[in-house]
Amino acid sequence: MNGLGQHLARTGRPDEAETLIRRSLEIRRRLGDRGYAYAESLLDLGKIAASKKRYAEAEALDREGVALLKNFVEPDDARLVDAAQQLDAVKRAAR
């Protein structure tokens, strides 16, 4: 479900993407799944929130996503670097 959400976001359908990614997160929450895919879903949703100028929401999602991602990748992993840059961009945009 999250993969389809990512595709929809990339193809200019952010509202549909947001709905699917939120569903994906809700399912993972109910199952107690706070793994790598959960972290990526948070970051995907953070991108969408930022694109809609919902910066406070985007920052909260990105912070949680970055914190979780640190449990699954090395500190110099490109995915973590990208996630941290995404969070920094949101913080700058919110000013």
pLDDT for the residue 2: 78
Q: What pLDDT score does 14 carry? A: 94
| Count of the separate structural domains present in the chain | 1
Query: pTM of the predicted model, to two decimals?
Result: 0.94
pLDDT recorded at residue 45: 97
Task: Read off the CATH number of the domain in which 72 is found.
Answer: 1.25.40.10
d(CA 62, CA 91): 10
Cα 78 to Cα 26: distance, rounded to the nearest angstrom = 27
Tokens of 6: 């990512």
Residue 26 is part of which domain span?
2-94
Q: Give percent helix, percent strand, percent coil of the chain, each to the nearest 5.
A: 80, 0, 20
Exposed/middle/buried for 43, CB within 10 Å: 0-12, 13-18, 19+? Answer: buried
pLDDT score, position 30: 96
Provide the pLDDT for residue 3: 86
pLDDT per residue of the chain (95 residues) written in tens, 0 to 9? 778 888 899 999 999 999 999 999 999 999 999 999 999 999 999 999 999 999 999 999 999 999 999 999 999 999 999 999 999 999 999 99
The rounded distance, in Å, linking the Cα atoms of 11 and 5 is 10
